[in-house]
Amino acid sequence: MNKKHIFTLLLTSILFGSCSTDFELEAEWKDIPIVYSFLSVQDTAHYVRVEKAFLEPGGNALEIAKVSDSIYYQNISVELVNLNTGKSLVMERVDGNDEGYPKEDGIFASSPNVLYKLSAEETGLKEGDVVRVVINGADNGESASAETRILGEIETSRFNPPERITRTRFNVPFNISWTPDEFAKIFDVRFIFYYLEKLPGETSFSRKSATWVVNKSVSVPENDGSLIAYEAGWESFYQALATQIPQVDAAERVFDGMDLQITGAGEELYQFVRVSRANTGITSAQSIPNYSNVEGGLGIVTSRYSTLRQGLVLADEALDSLQTGIYTRNLNFQ
């Protein structure tokens, strides 16, 4: 009987806040490099995670996952190659826990948290550059690689939504508009809502925030760099606030502005989301296909770009809905 293994790759949402995605695959036993990275010209350093996925015949997957030597390679080299300039750099092995990127506790060993790093100053990446991540020295003696194009700026529209939002009627949709880099194919759209809060017994206000995730995966496969408009509804905005802000008797709260955040990612993440959705639901097959752009391994290497439009204001009817609306009237906004 052929030995099989089951592994899970946790794709951390460097791209989309705290969002994460599980890859669950079953295959004939062999050593498989697992590679994932989100590269951005906005970052001060670039990171690549490389892990290995295999289960020795007769082994216990849950026990092996707790041993760091079982999930990390000890002697690999990871290179970042800029195909536009021909520049190739070997990345430094670091512990993500020391870099400010701790690994969440779970099935897999969380310490050390092995990442491979280069500073942005060293790489000099520019928007439009095509880069290749190359892994050499894996236990199977083979190399793995993946390519992506570095994304450029996303420009938000100052008209949709307007800077001063006067109405937020549940049954009247509104548009969110932005102009992205033409190579961005999928977008995360969210509002960050700020408020001042003073709880009973406190003598001063503290600034808090809540996040309305409008859509984590707005897909635009035919994006040509022109204006994109997405239609949203205000009811889910107030529902999000009611879910995240606790009701506290005698609390005092004051609205303190909103920001619109739009993050775009490349073709690779779009394809992963598309393939993952293609075989879900009650009519899906038992084994869900998984997308990977890593040759000689599995995982996702892509690029992202994030923009923040600050200082949006709720006024007039919109502010009244916050104070007296069915979802938020017990949150004590003044």
Helix (H) or strand (E) holding 79: strand 77-82
pLDDT by residue (tens digit) across 106-162? 434 455 889 999 999 999 999 999 999 999 987 777 899 999 999 999 999 989 999
Residue 189 pLDDT more than 70?
A: yes
Task: Return the residue matching tokens 């879910």.
Answer: 243
- Cα–Cα distances in angstroms (integers) from residue 85 to residues 119, 128, 302, in the given order: 17, 12, 19
pLDDT at 6: 29
- 301 belongs to a structural domain: no
**In this structure, are 19 and 165 located in the same domain?**
no
Q: Is residue 291 within 8 Å of residue 276, measured between CB atoms? A: yes
* Beta pairing, strands 228-232 & 174-179: antiparallel
- For residue 56, the enclosing domain spans 4-150
Higher pLDDT, 265 or 30: 265
Query: Residue 217 corresponds to which tokens in the numbers above?
Result: 């995966």
What tokens does 44 get? Answer: 């001060």
Average pLDDT over residues 196-202: 96
Better-predicted residue by pLDDT, 88 or 15 = 88
Q: Are residues 175 and 318 in the same domain?
A: yes
Residue 4 has pLDDT above 60, yes or no: no
The CA-CA-CA angle for residues 163, 165, 166, to 5°, reads 140
In a domain, 17, yes or no: yes
* pLDDT higher than 90, residue 69: no
Cα 311 from chain centroid? 24
Q: What's the number of domains the chain is made of?
A: 2
**Domain match, 20 and 110 both:** yes
The Cα-based distances of 81 to 37, 45, 123, 133, 300 in angstroms read 14, 15, 9, 6, 16
For the entire predicted model, the pTM comes to 0.84
Domain boundary pick from 129, 150, 171: 150
For residue 41, being part of any structural domain is answered with: yes
Contact call for residues 47 and 117 (beta carbons, < 8 A): yes
Model confidence at 272: pLDDT above 70: yes
Q: What is the pLDDT of residue 137?
A: 86
Same domain for 114 and 73: yes
Out of 70-79, 91-100, 308-317, pick the least confident.
70-79
Contact 253, 195 (CB under 8 A): yes
31 domain-assigned: yes
Share of the chain above pLDDT 70, in %: 80
Whole-number average pLDDT of the chain: 84
Q: Is the same domain home to 28 and 145? A: yes
Is 289 part of any domain?
no
Q: Clarify whether residues 146 and 230 are in a common domain.
A: no
Shared domain check, 176 and 202: yes
Q: What is the DSSP string of 11-76?
A: EE-SSSTT-EEEEEEEEES--EEEEEEEE-TT-SEEEEEEEEE---TT--HHHHTT-HHHHS-SS-
Residues 198 and 134 in one domain: no
- Of 126, 150, 174, which marks where a domain is finished? 150
In a domain, 47, yes or no: yes
Domain end: 150, 166, 185, which one? 150
**How do residues 11-68 score in pLDDT, each as one tens digit?**
333 333 333 344 444 445 567 898 999 999 999 999 999 988 754 555 444 443 444 5
Q: Is residue 230 part of a domain?
A: yes
Q: What is the pLDDT of residue 72?
A: 87
* Torsion of the alpha carbons at 242, 166, 177 and 310, rounded to the nearest 10: -70
Whole-angstrom distance, CA of residue 196 vs CA of residue 202: 12
